[in-house]
Amino acid sequence: MNALLSPNAQWVLLSTLILGMASGMIGCLAYWKRQSLMSDSLSHAALPGVVIAFAIVGVKEMPVMIAGAAASALAGALLIHWIRSSSRIKEDTAMGIILSVFFGFGIMLLTIVNRTAGGNQSGLDGFIYGQAASMVRKDVYTMLVLAALVILIVFAAFKEWKLFLFDPDFAKGLGLSRRLMDGVYLGVLVLVIVIGIQAVGVILMAALLIIPSVSARYWTNSFRRMVLLSALFGGGSGMGGTLISTFGANWPTGPFIVVASSALFVISLLFGAQKGLLVKAIQLRAQKQSVARSWSGEPGVKEGSAG
């Protein structure tokens, strides 16, 4: 319990809360653009940038790491677009190629750096599975500011996001640039990925983007409510996973955040008000009973009408 009361633990808890909210919101945009795999590809593609940034600077500075991760992730996104546009390879295949190549390259660089003097003490391994407890207050401040910026962008342009996602032709007619919105979307997606990889890790960051939005979809058909619910689920998962990880020695935060998020998904899958399995079972049973009553009443109706 003392670990929970420490100031550093409270700051980390706040950062994972805001990170989860930002991830849930951006995950909704990726969900409706049908690019959930993009978040997985870019989170893996960020690893080489993190290692290269550390190798250049020689110290673990969060702003430098974020810049390196962002550059690497953007390079991965551009390569996905280039592969898709210049060949007959489909987008999901291009994403899989970039994911595996960049992640393999990042692991190779990480192995080389860890064998250098002081490299094994850098803590770069925490970027694979996440280690929020290793963040210092300056790292937390950086994450809070950037995550708050992502949330602000989503709220400030909410109407534009709706037009961009659901009626792009009408949005184009109103003068909304598709290229601009694609650029903003890619920018905030990369931003939320690179600020979260230290807490959740490059492997599991995609789960924090995908699972809350899918869970929220089981509760509502409204895009606005889905965004808010996804932010709630993401923030709750971030806090819950962080709290659990504080009870053990050197427990990685990322896996526990994903476990908490998965628990919310199972609850949504079973009890979701719109698409939950229990609701569907009740509706199906009611339909069967209604059909059975209508069939049982037909002979009487026919007999009465004949008389």
3-class DSSP assignment, residue 287: helix
Q: Where are the domains positioned within the chain?
A: 2-206
Q: What angle do CA 28, 196, 224 make, to 5 degrees?
A: 20
pLDDT band at 52 (very low <50, low <70, confident <90, very high): very high
How many Å apart are CA 181 and CA 168, to the nearest integer?
Answer: 10
Please give the single-letter amino acid code of residue 206.
A
pLDDT band at 47 (very low <50, low <70, confident <90, very high): very high
Pairwise pLDDT comparison (291 vs 116), residue with the higher score: 291
In this structure, of 5-9, 222-226, 232-236, 303-307, the range with the lowest mean pLDDT score is 303-307
Share of the chain above pLDDT 90, in %: 41
Q: Which two tokens stand for residue 137?
A: 């207050």
The answer to whether residue 5 scores a pLDDT higher than 60 is no
| Half-sphere exposure of residue 285: CA atoms within 13 angstroms, side-chain side | 6
Mean pLDDT of 189-214: 89
Residue 73, pLDDT score: 94
Share of the chain above pLDDT 70, in %: 91
The answer to whether residue 48 scores a pLDDT higher than 80 is yes
Question: In sequence order, what E strands does the chain have?
Answer: none
Q: What is the mean pLDDT of the chain?
A: 85
Q: 96-126 burial, b for 16+ CB within 10 Å, e for fewer?
A: bbbbeebbebbeebbeebeeeeebeebebeb
How many Å apart are CA 28 and CA 211, to the nearest integer?
Answer: 10
The answer to whether residue 162 scores a pLDDT higher than 50 is yes
- Topology of the domain covering 2-206: ABC transporter involved in vitamin B12 uptake, BtuC (1.10.3470)
How many Å apart are CA 249 and CA 145, to the nearest integer?
Answer: 29
Residue 21, pLDDT score: 94
8-state DSSP, 122:
S
The answer to whether residue 304 scores a pLDDT higher than 50 is no
For 55, 290, 302, the CA distances from 296, given in Å and listed in that order, are 78, 10, 11
pLDDT band at 29 (very low <50, low <70, confident <90, very high): very high
pLDDT band at 306 (very low <50, low <70, confident <90, very high): very low
Residue 12, pLDDT score: 82
Can you give the pTM of this predicted structure? 0.85
